[in-house]
Amino acid sequence: MAIELRSGTARAVILPEHGGRLHQLLLDHEGREEPLLWSPADPAAYDARPTHGGSFPMAPWPNRIAASRFRWRDTGYEVPGGGKPNAIHGRVLDVPWDVVARTARVCELTATFDEGWPWPGKAWQRFELSATALRMKLEVRAAREPFPAGCGWHPWFRRDAFGATDVRLTLPASELYLAEHDLPTGEVCPPSGDHDFRAGASLGDRRVDSCYRGLSGPIEIDWGARRLHITVSAIEPHVMLYTPDHAFCIEPQTCAPDAFNLAARGVPNTGLAIAAPGRPVAIESTWSWS
């Protein structure tokens, strides 16, 4: 059953049964509701393609783990890859979440990690809608023993929201991870060329699939008629930007892709964190509109 949060003319639709995802955020525009997210008309489509559409939570790791394997404290671990070369987006995006609290403007959900994750624990998520913002928080919580962890969200934004023919993006990040075969090498550099959105730039036909760090302010999406500002709060905030032709994804996360393996190789500042009982790994993000 879908959960609807309402405040003023804003409405958020959350689907606990489909990975606890934000299925849609709708804002008033010229007297009608305008959806901001690219998502299927029928939520049942998530059963076949759970990584496509809406905004889904990623935990206990975001993005990819190379070859589905990593080492921690001198022990090797393997997680399910789902038939892909690298394990991707965690263990909770395609499982039902439990609703643990709900009001007209707020809901909280949890999902227990299955046997595909080596340690017992859960993900916890909170949504709070106001007339001008959607505030979100996501945590990875350890049940008994510490483990490496990361988390984040993977929203799919519409390119044509509010009748836009192009989108202008401002992403004030000072560093970009160099990557090979969809995985960071560990080297970073200042963004340049099609990857540089520090001063604001049109998305146009740029094709980007990269991770940024060193945020100095909010991210801004400008559709022309409306703007959305995204803040990210974590110990070492990272942002993935993915721009296929039909949508675009701005993914706040606590760490880089493959952070477990990068940190094991001695790469600094990857955002790798440890979840321990009473000390979750957490991220917060606020989407505000004008």
Q: Which tens digits make up the pLDDT trace of 221-260?
A: 999 999 999 999 999 999 999 999 999 999 999 999 999 9
Q: Which of 136, 140, 135, 84 is nearest to 110 (CA)?
A: 140
Mean pLDDT of the chain: 97
Which CATH number is 22's domain given? 2.70.98.10
What secondary structure does DSSP assign to 103-123, as a single string?
Answer: -SSEEEEEEE--TTSSS-EEE
Token representation of residue 75: 């022990």
Token representation of residue 76: 């090797």
Strand partners, 253: 152, 238
Cβ 271 vs Cβ 236: under 8 Å? yes
Count how many domains the chain has.
1
Question: What is the SS3 assignment for 262?
Answer: helix
Q: Which of 134, 148, 170, 150 is nearest to 89 (CA)?
A: 150
Cα 238 to its chain centre, rounded Å, is 10
Domain holding 16, by residue range, is 3-289
What's the pLDDT score for residue 230? 98
Token representation of residue 201: 């730039």
Q: Which of 280, 276, 260 is nearest to 145 (CA)?
A: 276
Cβ 123 vs Cβ 92: under 8 Å? yes
Model confidence at 176, pLDDT cuts 50, 70, 90, reads very high
* pLDDT > 90? residue 1: no
Cis peptide before 60 (omega within 30 of 0): yes
pLDDT tens-place string over residues 65-99: 999 999 999 999 999 998 899 999 999 999 999 99
CB neighbours of 222 closer than 8 A, spacing ≥ 6?
A: 167, 168, 169, 170, 200
Model confidence at 116, pLDDT cuts 50, 70, 90, reads very high
What's the pLDDT score for residue 153? 98
Handedness of CA 33, 109, 288, 240 (dihedral sign): negative
**What distance in Å separates the CA atoms of residue 282 and residue 290, rounded to the nearest whole number?**
27
DSSP structural state of residue 30: T
Cα 205 to its chain centre, rounded Å, is 22
Backbone angles phi, psi at 261, to 5 degrees: -75, -35
Locus of tokens 């440890």: 274
pTM given for the model: 0.97
What's the pLDDT score for residue 290? 84
What's the pLDDT score for residue 238? 98
What is the b/e burial string over 138-162, where b = at least 16 CB atoms within 10 angstroms of the residue's CB? bbbbbeeeebbbbbbbbbbbbbebb
Question: What is the SS3 assignment for 136?
Answer: strand
